[in-house]
Amino acid sequence: MKLNFILLLIFSLLVITAAEMIGFQSIPLGPISINLLPLVFAILISMVLGFGIFRKGIFKKIYSEKNVSFASKYLIFIMLPLMARYGADVAPKLQEILNIGWIFLIQEFGHLGTVLLGLPVALFLGLRREAIGATLGLGREGELAYISEKYTLDSDEGRGVLSLYIIGTIFGAVFFSIVAPMLLHLGYRVEALAMASGMGSGSMMTAASSSLAATIPEKQKTIIAYASASQLLSSFIGTFVMVFCAVPLQQFMYKLLTRGKGDKSWKQAV
């Protein structure tokens, strides 16, 4: 086993230990309390130490290209035990979930929001074919697999989805752990926010649902069950929504929005 990989394992254990020592923190902002989980602190510590100013000496070995590639590639396997646990959490609330099952199915069309809202913004900011990878979804494993198979990760589309995947990994859990309780205080029902937590990302779902559960501990089981069921559906049905709905919609919008602007890249992209 190479030294860089051993250092990565030791570094991971130290970051986890530090995050657990910090523990759960609640930051009051007027009537709103922002709940920060150890997971968020682990991400922040890893992110800060990965900055160029710190990436020297031993940290340069820890954040080597091979280690970063390994961590990204095998993230899904690390999340599998967590997803198995969440699957078990669904069982006690299964009847309740089935009673409102149609809502879970309808919310899967929310995946189209990244195309409807994100694609015009991405094109406005100057992205072209990169926008195809960056706005197909949240840039999680499903979108990453689709784009890598169709275009390869060395293409413009691949760079777009990979960039979003990295940004989501770094900032996603932090963002949703803050936004979820904020929306709760603005009047959204906790059940709706719990369902919205299952967006196709294990880390983002965990951060959002755990923050909600910390805010309303008496509904912890319901929150975790709803979020877990939504996550499982997003991982399965969300893939079909992406392939049969998001992709054709994105192709149509890309052609429409780039036509007549001297940009012919859509012919190569689709």
pLDDT tens-place string over residues 61-112? 888 888 877 876 676 677 667 667 666 766 676 676 677 667 777 887 888 9
Q: Which domain holds residue 233?
A: 93-261
pLDDT tens-place string over residues 216-267? 889 988 898 888 888 877 877 777 888 899 999 999 999 999 886 655 544 4
> Does residue 200 share a domain with residue 68?
no
Residue 269 covered by a domain: no
> Into how many domains does the chain fold?
2
> Does residue 189 share a domain with residue 60?
no
What pLDDT, on the 0 to 100 scale, is given for residue 270?
46
Distance of CA 140 to the CA centre of its chain: 6
> Does residue 102 share a domain with residue 47?
no
Work out the mean pLDDT of the chain and round it to a whole number.
82
The 10 Å CB-count burial string (b at 16+, else e) for 137-151 is bbbbbbbbebbbeeb
> Does residue 167 share a domain with residue 45?
no
Which one of 42, 74, 106 terminates a domain? 74
What pLDDT, on the 0 to 100 scale, is given for residue 118?
93
pLDDT tens-place string over residues 107-119? 878 889 999 999 9
- 269, two tokens: 């992209």
3-class DSSP state of 137: coil
Separation CA 193–CA 188 (nearest Å): 7
Mean pLDDT of 26-38: 72
Q: Please name which of 215, 4, 130 lies closest in space to residue 139, comparing C-alpha atoms.
A: 130
Residue 86 covered by a domain: no
- 4, two tokens: 């860089």
